[in-house]
Amino acid sequence: MDSLILPLDPILIAPYRLLDDPALAWWLGTLWVALLSVLMGEITTSVGKRLNRRILEKSASEAREMEKNSMNALKAGDKAAYKAMNKLANESFGHAFFQRAALGAASLWPAFIAAGWLQRRFEGLEVPLPGLDLAAGWLQGFLICYLSLRLGLALARWLRKRRRAAGAGAA
């Protein structure tokens, strides 16, 4: 792990040295490390989607087709065909779901590298939480920053999707 972390040290530690206030500098630096983790995770996911695009599209298409066929069998009153097609549809949905879950998990690996670096640098350190009479260790601080950025990114995507849908509805 050191062979992976040590070359990154100058890039990761730089923001911790920007401010005179040590607590604010720590939060700024930890926010930087969390941001880099989120960005690297997004890049990994994007590359994974691009490399596996055909497989993902095929799985999703098969799942939709199986669902459509099972519904058609149900409408036709063929319970045996419905059950068989529904079972295949469920398997297809499960396959597509786990492919997407694997891509989602691929976005997390940089957070573990960052956590290793933070532990090495800041183990045992407690930093005050801004505006509170509480302190956080390196892990809690990193999680606050990382999860805030992840939630912010998810909210931004949701808002963008909502705006697109509203724009498409108006056109």
20-69 pLDDT, tens digit per residue, is 999 999 999 999 999 999 999 999 999 988 988 888 888 888 888 888 88
Neighbours of 86 (CB within 10 A): 18
The model's pLDDT over 106-124, given as tens digits with 9 standing for 90+, comes to 899 999 999 999 999 999 9
**Residue 129: φ, ψ to 5°:** -80, 130
Q: Can you tell me the distance from the alpha carbon of 142 to that of 158, in angstroms, rounded to the nearest whole number?
A: 24
Question: What rounded mean pLDDT belongs to the chain?
Answer: 89
24, 29, 34, 38: CA torsion to nearest 10: 120
- Return the pLDDT at 77: 86
Q: Is 38 within 8 Å of 149 (Cβ atoms)?
A: yes
- Return the pLDDT at 171: 57
What's the structural domain count of the chain?
A: 1
Q: Is the pLDDT of residue 170 over 90?
A: no
Bridge partners, 9 (sequence order): none
Residue 99: pLDDT band by 50, 70, 90 thresholds? confident
Q: Residue 19's closest CA among 9, 32, 6?
A: 32
104, 105, 110, 111: CA torsion to nearest 10: 100
**What DSSP element (H or E) covers 127?**
strand 127-128
Rg of the chain in Å (alpha carbons):
23
Higher-pLDDT residue of 14, 85: 14
Q: What percent of the chain has pLDDT over 70?
A: 98
- Return the pLDDT at 70: 82
Q: Can you tell me the distance from the alpha carbon of 132 to that of 139, in angstroms, rounded to the nearest whole number?
A: 18
Domain that holds residue 20: 2-170
Q: Is 132 within 8 Å of 23 (Cβ atoms)?
A: no
Alpha helices in the chain (DSSP H): 2-5, 9-13, 22-51, 53-76, 79-106, 109-122, 138-170
Summarize the confidence of residues 147-155 as an average pLDDT: 97
Higher-pLDDT residue of 88, 50: 50
- Return the pLDDT at 74: 81
